[in-house]
């Protein structure tokens, strides 16, 4: 199936799903602190889903066992919540979350510091968020996926960081992963032109060291090949004739 363009009505339903996502991410950011387990964070997300009468986009997806991904330090994405995984002062925590409401999927992620972190981690978080912001600005009709990739890669590398190439952003709508794939570096193939009605989940993953990642034995958790920290930000964004419409705004 090719790229599925969304109507204005569908975009508003996507916005509602993303409001649930943002509520969860903001709640977790406020609650996360040293001594809290990542399973506790998953529990908070489950309660908000129930309260908002929404469903998890992650739970059961290709067998994933939780409603959110909680990735710490060298974990890039897909960290599985656990009672044994307890946050410590100086950690960097990336939280990725998806919700389904009205038959459409919201998806977003953010990275934040736990307690006091060093300068490298502070800069990594800041630059990764800036990469996302720069990518979002490129989401106007007439641009191409390559404009998004160039915005992310150029800013990350100018600041001494590297871009994860093994994971990409994606179209989003009734399904969490739709066409097109949205790489954060290189030249996308195909290099789709952006048109009104496209809704994309833009998600730069930036490493302090080398760009390579490997997946652990659990089959999910991706970590940096050199053990250095990583950061991840994601927003669902619609392309409109009036400019980028950020559906998962915070």
With cut-offs at 50, 70 and 90, classify the pLDDT of residue 249.
Answer: confident
With cut-offs at 50, 70 and 90, classify the pLDDT of residue 250.
Answer: confident
Average pLDDT over residues 133-158: 98
With cut-offs at 50, 70 and 90, classify the pLDDT of residue 1.
Answer: low
Cα 39 to chain centroid distance, Å, stands at 19
pTM: 0.97
The string of pLDDT tens digits covering residues 77-93 is 999 999 999 999 999 99
pLDDT mean across residues, the chain: 97
Residue spans of alpha helices (H) in 139-206: 145-158
Task: Retrieve residue 217's tokens.
Answer: 């034995």
* Residue 170 pLDDT greater than 70, yes or no: yes
Task: Retrieve residue 75's tokens.
Answer: 């974990």
* CA–CA gap between residue 116 and residue 113 (Å, rounded): 7
């Amino acid at each position: 199936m090719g790229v599925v363009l969304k109507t204005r009505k569908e975009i508003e339903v996507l916005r509602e799903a993303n409001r649930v996502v943002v509520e969860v991410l903001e709640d977790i950011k406020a609650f996360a602190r040293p001594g809290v387990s990542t399973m506790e964070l998953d529990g908070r997300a489950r309660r908000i889903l129930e309260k908002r009468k929404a469903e998890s986009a992650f739970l059961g997806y290709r067998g994933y066992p939780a409603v959110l991904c909680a990735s710490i330090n060298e974990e890039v994405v897909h960290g599985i919540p656990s009672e044994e995984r307890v946050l410590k002062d100086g950690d960097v925590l990336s939280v990725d979350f998806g919700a389904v409401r009205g038959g459409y999927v919201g998806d977003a992620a953010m990275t934040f510091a736990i307690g006091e972190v060093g300068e490298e981690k502070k800069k990594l978080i800041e630059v990764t968020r800036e990469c996302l912001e720069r990518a979002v600005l490129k989401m106007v009709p007439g641009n191409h996926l390559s404009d998004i990739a160039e915005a992310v890669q150029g800013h990350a590398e100018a600041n001494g960081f590297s871009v994860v190439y093994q994971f990409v952003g994606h179209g989003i709508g009734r399904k969490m992963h739709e066409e097109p794939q949205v790489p954060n570096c290189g030249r996308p193939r195909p290099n789709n032109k952006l048109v009104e009605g496209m809704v994309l989940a833009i998600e730069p993953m930036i490493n302090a060291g080398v760009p390579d990642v490997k997946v652990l034995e659990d089959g999910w958790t991706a970590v940096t090949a050199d053990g250095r920290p990583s950061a991840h930000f994601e927003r669902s964004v619609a392309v409109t004739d009036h400019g980028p419409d950020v559906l998962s705004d915070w």
